[in-house]
Structure 1
Amino acid sequence: MTDTSAKKVDAQSSPRGDMGQKYLASGESLAMRLWEQEEPADEVKPSTKREYETVGYAISGRAELHLDGQVIVLESGDSWVVPKGVSHTYKILETFTAVEATSPPAQAHRQDR
């Protein structure tokens, strides 16, 4: 039987992940997370590859997405895609807030580390 229940998640009381992200609504095949007021850093974090696809939307601030040899500047109103299995990292340039959706859910099976 199909699950038809609606779910609501209050970001104020959402659990946090190991990297500081807030977990928002999550379904069987996708999930949302919030990166809120991420502070600038002098260095780029080491690149990683994830077993999920990510789409994101920048709410405020600026960041660089380092993606498989490319550098993409993300600003308020920009959206992006990080394909599954592609080497990437982020560098925060100005205090940054963004929402991302991952498929499958990043927090499933502790993939979101």
Structure 2
Amino acid sequence: ISKGAAIPVHSHPHEQTGIMLSGKLRFTVEGEVIDIESGDSWCLPGGVEHSAEALEDCVVIEVFSPVREDYLP
């Protein structure tokens, strides 16, 4: 994720789990601001409103359950 990239407020029915490999990301989860740095992980239940802003260039791994059909080729 490139520095300055913004993901607008949204929600989805999928559980979202991730780990930050490098960089810094600011999550806003149901109004709470959380800064995520290298080595941090997160798990958001489905249906939770959230947004994000990349404070630095970031490398993340995210897993969604169930599979997000909109991410399939």
Corresponding residue number in structure 1 for 2:49: 87
The amino acid across from 1:89 in the alignment is: S
1:63 aligned to which of 20, 25, 28? 25
Listed one character per residue, the Cα deviations across residues 64-102 of structure 1 (whole Å, up to 9, x for unaligned) are 111001111010000001110000011000000000111
Q: Distance in 2 between matches of 1:76 and 1:41?
A: 17
Residues 1:72 and 2:37 are matched in the alignment: no
Corresponding residue number in structure 1 for 2:2: 39
Secondary structure of the equivalent of 2:10? coil
Q: CA deviation at 1:46?
A: 2.1
Secondary structure of the equivalent of 2:55? strand
Percentage of pairs with the same residue: 32
Corresponding residue number in structure 1 for 2:16: 54
Q: Which runs of 4+ in 1 moved over 6 A?
A: none
TM-score w.r.t. length of structure 1: 0.59
Larger % of strand: which? 2
Secondary structure of the equivalent of 1:47? strand
Q: CA deviation at 1:45?
A: 3.5
TM-score w.r.t. length of structure 2: 0.88
Kindly name which structure, 1 or 2, has the bigger radius of gyration based on alpha carbons.
Answer: 1
Aligned-CA RMSD value:
1.4
